[in-house]
Structure 1
Amino acid sequence: MRRLIYHPEVNYALRQTLVLSLPVIIGLIFGSLQQGLLFSLVPACCNIAGLDTPHKRFFKRLIVGGSLFAFSSLMVQLLLMEKLPLAAIFFGMALLLGVTAEISALHGRLLPASLIAAIFTLGLAGNMPVWQPMLLYALGTLWYGAFNWFWFWMWREQPLRETLSLLYRELADYCEAKYSLLTQHTDPENALPPLLIRQQKVVDLISLCYQQLHMLSATSRQNDYKRLLRVFQVALDLQEHISVSLHQPEEVQKLVEQSHAEPVIRWAARTVAARLRVVSDDILYHRYPRRFSMEKPISALEKIARQHPENPVGQFCHYHFSRIARLLRTQRPLYIRDLMADRQQHLPLLRALRSYLSLKSSALRSAARIGTMLAIASLLGAALNLPKPWWILMTIMFVTQNGYGATRVRILHRAGGTIAGLLIAAGALHFNVPQGYILAGMLLITLIGYLIIRKHYALATVGFTITAVYSLQLLSLSGEQFIMTRLVDTLLGCLIAFGGMVWLWPQWQSGLLRQNAHDALERDQQAIRQILSDDPQPGPLAWERMRVNQAHNALYNSLNQAMQEPSFNNRYLADMKLWVTHSQFIVEHINAMTILAREHNMLTPALAQRYLQSCEIAIQRCQQRLTWDNPDDSGAIHVLDDPEALTIGPMSTMERHLDRILSHLNAMHTISSVAWHQRPHHGAWLRRRLQSHK
């Protein structure tokens, strides 16, 4: 029972189904089924607005959201009474409400939710008094907030537990995949992409944990969250030790040939991965961790490191696996960090409005894109003699996502699911099924739909389409008449949304690769400065390391999305993929150097200054090459040009990492020289001054 009730998909499906179905059940009991069905429309707006997100200002966000829904409903009805064109109404409302995205990303979700409330009102206008839809949204939002507050009170830690559980599971997959490819690192083009994907998922989940911690009220003062805070800090330490660089293929191959290191290292990795999966389940299902020890694998690694002292790979694996074993055994972080160091601030309304009124604002561009698509849909509805084309408008809002790739996938799933759902509903409506059985079937379909919606959106859309048709049947006894028109409206909405993402001020990720690459190099430079400073502190070191990982993750996400866009230049993207590969190696070296700096394994001040200067010069040359073509054809980047400054004796571990970083920067400089010649020679790609898109 515990596994069932705490399972993320089951918990989410139960919450969404109950918040939708309880108003319908209450309406059925009191003989007001139609009012209950209308009342259940409001949670759709609240879901899109993110009002079910645990937040320290939970009730304030509910008040703001409910007020915007009621305001949108009132505006649509009043402007319709003034005989204003529907296209002008929705375009103006999109521009007016678009300022919310300038305040913060979470506030930005109020824009599509408010527009959906206006579209719902479009179908209700003329059939009831003006105040009734407004009251419906106000009471519906109040019900939604009260129910979710009660649900999260019962499972107070569950949202954070679900994310932490996923994080530990991804760390297990990443550790296992990394060391299963131990002898394949000589071919990074084939071995590295799977690791990059797993590393990307880990950093995404860490970022999500940070966001959840910021949104929770007084987290550090609540006893319920203290253990989860400790678990998250342990996860940060684990990610630090698992993701350090092992890119020494020659040394790895030599050690494998000279000893039985490969099965021992894989044994240790599998042991760690198995324990991480157990910890993941313990977090999710509220279980206390059992005792754990991996003395035998650690002893075997120590023996290999002692037998081959000249090979750094054995020492590397023994050091990091012993730290990982200690973390898993004690379940306590290696050091305490300030998790609130990156506390996010929202822009005040007046400052957000001033920024929003600039033509450079991405929020303004996004609002104008949505408003234009809704205006086109309204004009198309008028041309087809549809006075209220609310289904076309609704389809546009549901399928429009932030990027081209996500919108395309959502369109395919939405269109396919809607077509299948309408066909099934058309056949089912021919049977005279009693109302009680219909409602029970809708309840079951809704539960199943929310169980699978995160992984199988198309199948969930099939079920939701069936429930939508039967809702119309129960509301107006004319569901069958809407089958064909709803099918045409869905296809038209998908076509308009696709055209809007392609032709209306598109924000192609391929065009943003240069800016993201520049930002990633900037973060690398800040981290290296922190590491090579006179007295690096653990807190700032941990925060800079995390920012490096997040900046590279943004670059990698941008590359992945660019590869899915209409490819204007495959050679340019292929070159940038290789560039991102070298950037990943730098991130792994910075992870390793952060550990060394925290343990005071440092260079002499003079040598640290020379390395810092060399790294800064190398990074700046890479940034300049990304910005414009120049005739600089100088050779490789040299670490130390002065022979007197050369290290006497073998290089330290910190020096080896820095030397490899410089070699990767040298390769990135050469790659960017080639890639920049492959770029399109028009538009944003010709700008020499980069502007942050953040």
Structure 2
Amino acid sequence: MWRRIIYHPEVNYALRQTLVLCLPIAVGWLLGDLRQGLLFSLVPACCNNAGLDTPHKRFFKRLIIGGSLFAFCSFMILYAGEQGVPLPIIMLVMALMLGVTAEISPLHGRLLPASLIAAIFTLSLAGRVPLWQPPLLYILGTIWYGLFNWLWFRLWKEQPMRETLSLLYRELADYCEAKYTLLTRLTDPQTALPPLLARQQKAVDLINTCYQQMYMLAASQDNHYQRLTRAFQVALDLQEHISVSLHQPEEVQKLVEQSHAEAVIRWNAQTIAARLRVLADDILYHRYPERFTMDKPLQALEKISRQNKDNPVGNFCYYHFSRIARVLRTQRPLYRRDLMADRQRRLPLIPALKSYLSLKSPGLRSAARYGVMLAFASSLALFFNLPKPYWILMTVMFVSLNGYGATRVRIQHRAMGTLAGLVIAAVMLRLHAPESVMLLVMLALTLIGNLFIRKFYGWATIGFTITTVFTLQLLSLNGVQLLIPRLMDTLIGCLIAFGGMIWLWPQWQSGLLRQNAHDALEAYQEALQLLLGQEQEPAKLAWQRMRVNQAHNALFNSLHQAMQEPNFNASYLKDMQLWVTHSQFIVEHINAMTILAREHTMLTESLAQRYLQSCEIALQRCQQRLEYDGPSSDSNVLEAPEDFHQGPVTILERHVKRILGHLSTMHTISSLTWSQRPHQGRWLSRRLRKSP
């Protein structure tokens, strides 16, 4: 039982966040200086937003950079304020200066909002403390935060990667069960495939997270992570075999009518899913797995396969299930991959600065959006004669996220949670509880809020709002008088953030769909060149297969977010959903071809080259329809050659032929879809890419 408590992801996270926040308050209370302890507890909020609690091989370097930026922003807002510089100009200039961090790497980019939050917290202290005290507070607070988290991760060194691997195994279990237990209901791709696509993309997201964690922790060179690295390689094998294409509804229906294959396949899939969930718990709770075998389900499936030799479905399922069973039995990957370093874009400061100064830089647009929103909020506060609009600015920062849909949901949860929290806090303040009781309530609410914040942000906001009101009450004894103003500030901040996300350089995913589709087609072409080329290196094939999955994942996520955006053509998005569905089929075929290539099930050199040429022509046709908006006859489209191969069709040929069929359908969809595309934002550009 104690393992489930201490190693559970939500409990472990909540304990860490609560202790790092509340220990300074407890020390300050014991020493008779509760005010300094409460002020010291502001620093972890900035460190959390900066991602300084992310385990990293450059952990202390990132702490030094983060603490320095916090202290610099804290000093600058106080010093510039004393010099009479208007607050809107301070916030705009500060955001534009710090925006370059997003060009260095995505993790560095989190320093921008965190540093701005540090400046906003300091604004609430202006006039109450000396000029040197807030910067020193941030330096000491970052040191405390870093040392605490370093010690925590020394005690639970493998825990972050264990949590991700456990989630990955659970997602693979759900995907396998959903894909193979409803065979007779998966005949209509329009209704059956979207749930499977969502599960497949979640698994790919978790694989990407594992790659990033291995890169950040240098896990491939650390002996402590050998068992987890092997578990990750096993997960890659499982994803490879589970996600291969089985979309043959006519053959499936025929096999089900001729035998009891549906029950046997469901038996195998549920056995595999149950084992994966057990392994997920074993990884998370530091247990060694028990022995496993699924001989009886496999024997029943093999018997059906022998009895129906003309039907490819039984042999297909037996082939992949038997390899999955071998992996689960031995707990060793079928193939030892060379886990290449994650290809994260990370630039030194000077090249990043050059890239940042371009008007096309996403980092510049994001920084400008933050700066303009904060400047507008500050100007509004000056207009209404609000001397320290820190709550409005803080609300803008906390609810502003990258996408429209995420920001809208965060705004709703923030506003509703703040309203409920202020009502509850008003009732509790009227009870006039002693200081010790208020601190215990704050401790309990902080722990409970951190337990729920990752899944239920709105409920966590209720507890954090009550804690904030109690903090103001303990600091200035005026918590009741601030209830209504804080509610109004929250609503104003949410409205500003919502308006900024819609009108200030929005990154509508509908406009990014075409670029992501083009990138996915490029990844497919590179994979087919490796699979049908002369040199098939297993390490390159495995890495390219993951690149294909990642490219399609970016496309699917763009479509999912675009369908939540306002005022876009629903018919266009529906057509793009069908396009993405066929793209998913291509990914599944490439997964299967990678397995066959590794087992040396290949074509003759001349035949492979002719099929590769056909695939490249089909891919170029699709890319041309993405790049040009004119009629097909004006775009100089190359036509794919006719079927030239006579004789028995091999398994690999069957996959290639289906890829060609999907590409043909995608080209037809593209020809009809672009005329319905949205005509705003990036879509005003007639061509996808400028000619060199």
TM-score range, shorter chain: over 0.9
Amino acid at match of 1:59: F
**Match in the other structure for 1:20:** 21
**Match in the other structure for 2:391:** 391
Query: What is the CA distance between 1:537 and its match in structure 2?
Result: 1.1
For residues 79 and 311 of structure 1, what CA distance do their matches in structure 2 show? 77
Query: What is the CA distance between 1:106 and its match in structure 2?
Result: 0.2
For residues 7 and 665 of structure 1, what CA distance do their matches in structure 2 show? 45
**Match in the other structure for 1:232:** 232
**Match in the other structure for 1:667:** 665
Alpha-carbon contact 1:639-1:659 (below 8 Å) kept: no
Amino acid at match of 2:386: L
**Match in the other structure for 1:561:** 561
Deviations 1:214-235 (A, max 9, x none): 1004x23322200000000000
Query: What is the CA distance between 1:348 and its match in structure 2?
Result: 0.6
Deviations 1:15-69 (A, max 9, x none): 0000000000000110110000000000000000000000000000000000000
Amino acid at match of 1:242: I
SS at match of 2:590: helix
Alignment of 1:473 with 2:503, yes or no, is no
For residues 68 and 642 of structure 2, what CA distance do their matches in structure 1 show? 66
Deviations 1:139-172 (A, max 9, x none): 0000000000000000000000000000000000
Deviations 1:503-558 (A, max 9, x none): 01111000111111111111111111111111211100010000000100000000
**Match in the other structure for 2:43:** 42
Map of 1:300-311 to 2, 5 A cutoff? 300-311=300-311
Amino acid at match of 1:211: Q
Query: What is the CA distance between 1:341 and its match in structure 2?
Result: 3.9
Alignment of 1:647 with 2:646, yes or no, is yes
**Match in the other structure for 2:340:** 340
Query: What is the CA distance between 1:186 and its match in structure 2?
Result: 1.7
Query: What is the CA distance between 1:338 and its match in structure 2?
Result: 1.5
Query: What is the CA distance between 1:682 and its match in structure 2?
Result: 4.8
Query: What is the CA distance between 1:282 and its match in structure 2?
Result: 0.1
**Match in the other structure for 1:509:** 509
Map of 1:593-604 to 2, 5 A cutoff? 593-604=593-604
SS at match of 2:63: helix
**Match in the other structure for 1:410:** 410
Amino acid at match of 1:153: R
**Match in the other structure for 2:154:** 153
Amino acid at match of 1:363: G
Identity among equivalent positions (%) equals 72
Amino acid at match of 1:125: A
**Match in the other structure for 2:5:** 4
Query: What is the CA distance between 1:636 and its match in structure 2?
Result: 12
| Larger CA deviation: 303-312 vs 343-352 | 343-352
**Match in the other structure for 1:255:** 255
Q: CA RMSD in A?
A: 1.5
Deviations 1:310-332 (A, max 9, x none): 11111100000000000000000
Alpha-carbon contact 1:52-1:145 (below 8 Å) kept: yes
Amino acid at match of 1:491: L
**Match in the other structure for 2:576:** 576
SS at match of 2:124: helix
Alpha-carbon contact 1:449-1:459 (below 8 Å) kept: yes
Query: What is the CA distance between 1:638 and its match in structure 2?
Result: 7.7
Alpha-carbon contact 1:94-1:368 (below 8 Å) kept: yes
Residues 90 and 682 of structure 1: CA distance in aligned 2, closer, same or farther (over 3 Å): closer
Residues 636 and 139 of structure 1: CA distance in aligned 2, closer, same or farther (over 3 Å): closer
**Match in the other structure for 1:687:** 685
| Larger CA deviation: 481-490 vs 251-260 | 251-260
Residues 471 and 341 of structure 1: CA distance in aligned 2, closer, same or farther (over 3 Å): closer
**Match in the other structure for 1:120:** 121
Alpha-carbon contact 2:104-2:345 (below 8 Å) kept: no
**Match in the other structure for 1:31:** 32
Alpha-carbon contact 1:69-1:117 (below 8 Å) kept: yes
Query: What is the CA distance between 1:602 and its match in structure 2?
Result: 0.4
TM-score scaled by length of structure 1: 0.98
For residues 606 and 82 of structure 1, what CA distance do their matches in structure 2 show? 76
Residues 246 and 495 of structure 1: CA distance in aligned 2, closer, same or farther (over 3 Å): same
**Number of residues paired by the alignment?**
688
For residues 310 and 59 of structure 1, what CA distance do their matches in structure 2 show? 62
Alpha-carbon contact 1:637-1:663 (below 8 Å) kept: no
**Match in the other structure for 1:90:** 91
Residues 373 and 281 of structure 1: CA distance in aligned 2, closer, same or farther (over 3 Å): same
Alpha-carbon contact 1:168-1:277 (below 8 Å) kept: yes
**Match in the other structure for 1:99:** 100
**Match in the other structure for 2:592:** 592
For residues 637 and 73 of structure 1, what CA distance do their matches in structure 2 show? 60
Consecutive unaligned residues of structure 1, counting only runs of 5 or more, are none
Amino acid at match of 1:616: E
**Match in the other structure for 1:194:** 195
Deviations 1:338-384 (A, max 9, x none): 21343435201000000000111010000000000000000110111
For residues 630 and 485 of structure 2, what CA distance do their matches in structure 1 show? 58
Query: What is the CA distance between 1:82 and its match in structure 2?
Result: 1.0
Alignment of 1:185 with 2:183, yes or no, is no
Alpha-carbon contact 1:181-1:191 (below 8 Å) kept: no
Map of 1:590-629 to 2, 5 A cutoff? 590-629=590-629
SS at match of 1:342: coil
Alpha-carbon contact 2:629-2:687 (below 8 Å) kept: no
SS at match of 2:632: coil
Query: What is the CA distance between 1:284 and its match in structure 2?
Result: 0.2
Map of 1:410-489 to 2, 5 A cutoff? 410-489=410-489
**Match in the other structure for 1:373:** 373
Deviations 1:225-254 (A, max 9, x none): 000000000000000000000011111111
Amino acid at match of 2:381: G
**Match in the other structure for 1:169:** 170
Query: What is the CA distance between 1:300 and its match in structure 2?
Result: 1.0
Residues 635 and 330 of structure 1: CA distance in aligned 2, closer, same or farther (over 3 Å): farther
Alpha-carbon contact 1:637-1:662 (below 8 Å) kept: no
| Larger CA deviation: 633-642 vs 512-521 | 633-642
| Larger CA deviation: 301-310 vs 278-287 | 301-310
Amino acid at match of 2:653: E
Query: What is the CA distance between 1:684 and its match in structure 2?
Result: 2.3
TM-score scaled by length of structure 2: 0.98
Query: What is the CA distance between 1:677 and its match in structure 2?
Result: 1.1
For residues 642 and 236 of structure 2, what CA distance do their matches in structure 1 show? 38
Deviations 1:383-424 (A, max 9, x none): 111011000000000000000000000000000000000011
Amino acid at match of 2:436: G
Amino acid at match of 2:370: I
Map of 1:122-137 to 2, 5 A cutoff? 122-137=123-138
Residues 683 and 424 of structure 1: CA distance in aligned 2, closer, same or farther (over 3 Å): closer
For residues 684 and 484 of structure 1, what CA distance do their matches in structure 2 show? 42
**Match in the other structure for 1:74:** 75
Deviations 1:417-471 (A, max 9, x none): 0000001101111111111111011000100000011111000000000000000
For residues 413 and 101 of structure 1, what CA distance do their matches in structure 2 show? 27
